[in-house]
Amino acid sequence: MGDLMGHDLTRQSASTLADAISQGEVSAEEVTKAHLERIAEVDPRVHAFLYVDSDDALAAAKGVDAKRARGDRLGALAGVPLALKDILTMKGVPTTCGSKILEGWRPPYDSHVVERLRTSDIVILGKTNMDEFAMGSSTEHSAYGPTRNPWDLERIPGGSGGGSSAAIAAFEAPLAIGTDTGGSIRQPAAVTGTVGVKPTYGGVSRYGLVALASSLDQAGPCARNVLDTALLHAAIAGHDPRDSTSINAAVPDVVGAALNGDVRGMRIGLVRELSGAGYQAGVEQRFREAVELLEGLGAEVIEVSCPHFEYALGAYYLILPSEASSNLARFDGMRYGLRAGDDGSHSVEEVMAITREAGFGPEVKRRIMLGTYALSSGYYDAYYGQAQKIRTLITRDFDAAFTQVDVLISPTAPTTAFKIGEKVDDPIAMYLNDVATIPVNLAGNAAMSLPIGLAPEDGLPVGLQIIAPPMTDDRLYRVGSAVESALVDKWGQLLIEEAPAL
Amino acid sequence: MSAITRADVEHLGRLARLNLTPEEIDNFAGQLDVILASVARISEVAAHDIPPTSHPIPVENVYREDVVRPGLLRADVAAGAPAWEDDRFRVPRILGEA
Amino acid sequence: MSAHADELMDYDQAVSLFDPVIGLETHVELGTNSKMFCSCPTEFGAEANTQICPVCVGLPGSMPVVNAVAVESTIRMGLALNCDIASWCRFARKNYFYPDMPKDYQISQYDEPLCTDGYLDVIVPTDDGPQVFRIEIERVHMEEDTGKLTHSGGDTGRIHGADYSLVDYNRAGIPLIEIVTKPIPGTGALAPVVARAYVAELRNLMRSLGVSNVRMEEGSLRCDVNVSLAKPGEPWGTRSETKNVNSLRSVERAVHSEIERQSALLTSGGRVIQETRHFHEDTGRSTSGRSKEQAEDYRYFPEPDLVPVAPSLEWIEQLRASLPEAPAAKRARLQESWGITDFEMQTLVNTDALDVIEETVAAGVEQSAARKWWMGEFARSAKEQGIELSQLRVRPADIVRVEALIGEGALTDKMARQVFEGVLAGEGDVDSVIAQRGLVVVSDDTSLLAAIDEALAAQPDVAEKIASGKVQAAGAIVGAVMKATQGQADAAKVRALLLEKLGVSE
């Protein structure tokens, strides 16, 4: 990897930093300090972080250095800094989910993901901004103000995990954790020119992940390149008995796949329904070029049809609000978080309603009401029940497609990053950002977003979505790594290096 | 699939324990109507013989052993509580009448 | 509480005019070590909020995991109630806001209960002899208990008029099974007795299965009692639901008073409204619950955080094969083997003494002796302490030991009572109580003869009477000797020595 002396530590990949730390070329403390300095420098403009835990991060980094000095075995990413989405609990550290209703709440326990990060000796820098309770595609629905896209500070960094994608794209951290309920890892990755993976549902434990929609939520890795993403994926994935939906099987060899990018002989399906109307011209152009690239690398690309995908958005916007309306009921001001209106004159029912009025933002209220409606008696069959049947049909579409091909591809998002404020008051326009990512969550597949270039019309990043059947997450990395290598060969560097200096 | 009225919104607000201002009721009535109209397309699909999917990955019979393990310290839970008294969570009076 | 008392009709008149239809929903806490969905302990009476974790306090991010023993217990109960066991079913969320419910939804089962369509036969004594009623079971399902509220401020400690409430989540998440009957018509005037007998039999069944100890005084069994009335031959009327009826006696009284209330209402031109009522232990009557502005809409949907329960046929059959003898069958068998009357058996059942007596007999004690001890000394002691027989310190092994000592002549009956007094008071096991209290039968002839001489000398007139052949007068001397030896002598032996000494025979 060479000597990092004199290089900017924040511009390095996670694997480079981990090697350098394990070789003693640089200390984990120096690496962490460099990133904390970068955060201090650029985050006032980017606003990727809601909370930076400098003391604990430095202490953790020193702990890694001490372990190394003792000759203890270190994890593959030991000493590498990471930005954690503020939806995962971390003992004693504020966890707000981007909401006022949890302002100041410090959970008394660690999420499974945080436990795994700690045992991997990864250094957690702090908590990143997000749309309130992960409801949104722009991070504008955070109660703490929007995060800005490092490519253009007037634009959104995607959502709901815009804080995590922006932190990586702004070189504030080489790694981040996101969560993906309808595209909240992949769409932010696409619009910030970074890599993000939604693992197979159940691949990473949800214990300690504050639930939005339990049957759709999945935590996953974010980084600036495919190998770093795979290393982080391997660190957090695997069975956890505290999550009943956690898959009790060996984690696919994602790191091995990332090191062996090769699509020769692979059959790749292009989903007919995930293109056309609503897709920006530059997005479609870069996507077509990616298809040609894959063919050039030896893959066979065929078009496949998933006829029920056109109903995915409708099913999703019934299932998600329904589950969310129940999951968010517990935020009632009784046990933790905000309590409003408790002046002695109001009953418990009234205090709950006043607290929720004061603590939730408009998008959260909108979805709670939508979900309450979809589950209420007389409407259940037509809405929630029918949506769950559509879900079956979408899964069958995937099953049929995967009899013909090894992976599916599409653009990750229909457009590049839009302007802050452009869609915030138009829920339907906002929901359409997730049209290509949502089917994956409904069926539980694994999927990756990978940068494939800048749209000619606006010079903003475009993402390629790769979709694999459940528990074949390694295929994402095999394809992603091949595409990334070919593009780096073509461009001489990763796309993210082209982002303007902040 | 009927239009959402203000009364519907108020009812939903009560069920979901959400106080709503008159402006919010107006806004939400309109927005929910638009959203429901756009998602209602799913009813076009003839699916009466299709089984519903509640869990994306089919797994069954996940249990834990009936063994006691340490939980949380009371002090840690108390620290996060909005109101605490006599080792318990203090909550406002339960009935609406004074 | 509502200010005016409901009109009641005389019970005999009420049941001459109307046929009651009853229904019971019974919630019982299972006796698992840990909670339904987390590994917190379930012990009763722990300090507030010391048996809690992220799951049972509903902290953000926490997730439930099903207790295997709770599922097994529910299946066993379902089998014992002759139910069908679902081959595949799910948990569901029941959504409603209440401060004792940490997540503001309860994990329960809705349209896919684990057990359905069973029955339980209960026997009720009548003037015409025992009568059997078959209670049909609609469903048995699993759910979680809520936390416990205490109401502060105001004057009564009741929910009404309280200034605020306090919540302890130790109970939140304790596994419950809910057993729901189908409507039970045709019990006539016996409705309250049948309701009581059904709940008692459920309790016996759960205890015999070992799935719950059913401590009713700790609130581990709670009933909701549905009652409606119909004129003979007419359709059933509107039913009321009386909530949280927590003892056998209360079940009987709740049905009784609801029949009286509804019949008074119906005959005076009123109508029964479908409502929730609250039962008051002190008055034996119920009052109307607060009328709800809106009908409840629980918005049930399948619990996405838990995977389906799909018990294999092999597992179900294995559990079926290992079920213990049903309580009714066991009663019939024991009654025959012990040769006791219906009445005597009923008394044993009503005193909850059957199991301990059976255990004592199984340990080798003669059944009449076992019944004598448990129904006598021990029943009194349990009643005084307000506990159940099985909670007493005395074990069947203690009775075995004492009976053996009596047989050897090492203990007298009176001393045996003293031994048990010590055992019940926690002084130790039989032998240590005997040692500590110095309870030794005085059997050595020399000291007994000395005591007899002393007694004869003290009562020369009595001595003369006996010597002259009036054997019945011997009791006074024997009594004096027993007193002098503090009861530690064998009275029969004293009598024999006395008569021998005076040269008379019986």
Least confident of A164-168, C22-26, C39-43, C484-488: C484-488
Contact check, Cβ <8 Å, B18/A105? no
Residue A100 Cα distances to A90, A365, C7, C331, angstroms = 18, 13, 53, 63
Contact check, Cβ <8 Å, A373/B12? yes
Residue A251 Cα distances to A209, A472, C66, C251, angstroms = 20, 9, 24, 55
Touching check for C166 and chain B: CB below 8 Å? yes
Torsion of CA C33, C35, C37, C39, to 10 degrees: -60
pLDDT band at residue A372 under the 50/70/90 scheme: very high
Least confident of A10-19, A46-55, B79-88, C208-217: C208-217
Distance CA C472, CA C465 (A): 9
Touching check for A352 and chain C: CB below 8 Å? yes
pLDDT band at residue B1 under the 50/70/90 scheme: very low
Mean pLDDT, residues B7-14 taken together: 94
Domain locations in chain C?
11-314, 334-437, 445-502
In this predicted model, what pLDDT tens digit does every residue of C409-440 receive, in sequence order?
Answer: 788 888 888 899 999 988 888 988 888 888 87
In this predicted model, what pLDDT tens digit does every residue of A265-297 receive, in sequence order?
Answer: 999 999 999 988 889 999 999 999 999 999 999
The two tokens of residue A176 are 């981040």
Chain A, 172 to 211: residues with Cβ < 8 Å from chain C are 206-211
Q: Contact, A388 vs A319, CB < 8 A? A: yes
- The shortest CB-CB distance from B77 to any of C57, C164, C310 is to C57
Contact list, B58 vs chain A (CB under 8 Å):
none
Q: Contact, C485 vs C506, CB < 8 A? A: no
Catalytic residues of A: 85, 160, 184
Residue A349 Cα distances to A328, B18, C310, angstroms = 16, 10, 38
Mean pLDDT, residues A408-426 taken together: 95
Q: What is the pLDDT of residue A1?
A: 44
pLDDT band at residue B98 under the 50/70/90 scheme: very low
Give the 3-state secondary structure of residue A379.
coil
Does residue A17 have a pLDDT over 70? Answer: yes
- Give me the half-sphere count of Cα atoms (radius 13 Å) on the Cβ side of residue C82: 10
Contact check, Cβ <8 Å, C53/B71? yes
Q: Which residues, including other chains, have CB under 8 Å from residue A286's CB and lie 6 or more apart?
A: A411, A452, A453, A454, A455, A462
Distance from the B60 Cα atom to the nearest Cα atom in chain C, whole angstroms: 5
Q: Contact, C112 vs C139, CB < 8 A? A: no
Distance from the A209 Cα atom to the nearest Cα atom in chain C, whole angstroms: 5
Q: Model's pTM, two decimal places?
A: 0.89
In this predicted model, what pLDDT tens digit does every residue of C58-91 receive, in sequence order?
Answer: 999 999 999 999 999 999 999 999 999 999 999 9
Mean pLDDT, residues B58-83 taken together: 96
Q: What is the pLDDT of residue C33?
A: 97
Mean pLDDT, residues C18-28 taken together: 97
Touching check for A386 and chain C: CB below 8 Å? no
Substitution target in C107, C170, C307 with the highest count of B β-carbons within 10 Å is C307
Give the 3-state secondary structure of residue B92.
strand
**Chain position carrying tokens 């089984």:** B51
Q: Architecture of domain C445-502 in CATH?
A: Orthogonal Bundle (1.10)
pLDDT band at residue B97 under the 50/70/90 scheme: very low
Q: Contact, A481 vs A491, CB < 8 A? A: no
Does residue C1 have a pLDDT over 50? Answer: no
Q: Contact, C466 vs C417, CB < 8 A? A: no
Q: In chain C, count of helices (H) and strands (E)?
A: 17, 15
DSSP-assigned beta bridge partners for residue A450: A464
pLDDT > 90 in chain A, percent: 95
Contact check, Cβ <8 Å, C61/A208? yes
Contact check, Cβ <8 Å, A347/B79? no
Contact check, Cβ <8 Å, B50/A348? no
Touching check for C166 and chain A: CB below 8 Å? no
**Residue A426: closest C-alpha in chain B:** B31
Q: What is the pLDDT of residue C293?
A: 45
Q: What is the pLDDT of residue C155?
A: 63
Q: Contact, A60 vs A123, CB < 8 A? A: yes
Q: Architecture of domain A13-307+395-494 in CATH?
A: Alpha-Beta Complex (3.90)
In this predicted model, what pLDDT tens digit does every residue of C5-22 receive, in sequence order?
Answer: 688 899 999 999 999 999
Contact check, Cβ <8 Å, B4/A373? yes
In this predicted model, what pLDDT tens digit does every residue of A189-229 receive, in sequence order?
Answer: 999 999 999 999 999 999 999 999 999 999 999 999 999 99
Q: What is the pLDDT of residue C290?
A: 59
Mean pLDDT, residues C147-159 taken together: 79
Touching check for C155 and chain B: CB below 8 Å? no
Domain locations in chain B?
1-47
pLDDT > 70 in chain C, percent: 96
Q: What is the pLDDT of residue A239?
A: 98
In this predicted model, what pLDDT tens digit does every residue of C248-291 receive, in sequence order?
Answer: 999 999 999 999 999 999 999 888 988 899 999 888 899 887 55
Amino acid at the residue C288: S
Least confident of A349-358, A417-426, C98-107, C458-467: C458-467
H/E segment holding residue A295: helix A281-296
Mean pLDDT, residues A28-38 taken together: 98
Q: What is the pLDDT of residue C435?
A: 86
Average per-residue pLDDT in chain C? 90
Touching check for A109 and chain C: CB below 8 Å? yes
Distance CA A313, CA A169 (A): 28
Does residue C126 have a pLDDT over 80? Answer: yes
In this predicted model, what pLDDT tens digit does every residue of C315-357 receive, in sequence order?
Answer: 999 999 999 988 888 888 999 999 998 888 888 887 778 888 9
Amino acid at the residue C271: R
Q: Contact, A157 vs A165, CB < 8 A? A: yes
- Give me the half-sphere count of Cα atoms (radius 13 Å) on the Cβ side of residue A221: 29
> Cis link prior to A160 (omega < 30° from 0)?
yes
Chain B, 53 to 82: residues with Cβ < 8 Å from chain A are 53-57, 59, 62, 64, 72-73, 76-77, 79-82
**Chain position carrying tokens 């036969």:** C121
CATH (one of 1.10.3720.10, 1.10.20.60, 1.25.40.340, 1.10.20.140) for B1-47? 1.10.20.60
Chain B, 24 to 83: residues with Cβ < 8 Å from chain C are 54-55, 59-69, 71-72, 74, 77-78
DSSP-assigned beta bridge partners for residue C26: C179, C223
Contact check, Cβ <8 Å, C299/B15? yes
Distance CA B51, CA A334 (A): 38
pLDDT band at residue A95 under the 50/70/90 scheme: very high
Distance from the C308 Cα atom to the nearest Cα atom in chain B, whole angstroms: 5
Q: What is the pLDDT of residue C291?
A: 55
Mean pLDDT, residues A404-433 taken together: 94
In this predicted model, what pLDDT tens digit does every residue of A146-161 receive, in sequence order?
Answer: 999 999 999 999 999 9
Contact check, Cβ <8 Å, A387/B42? yes
pLDDT band at residue A2 under the 50/70/90 scheme: low
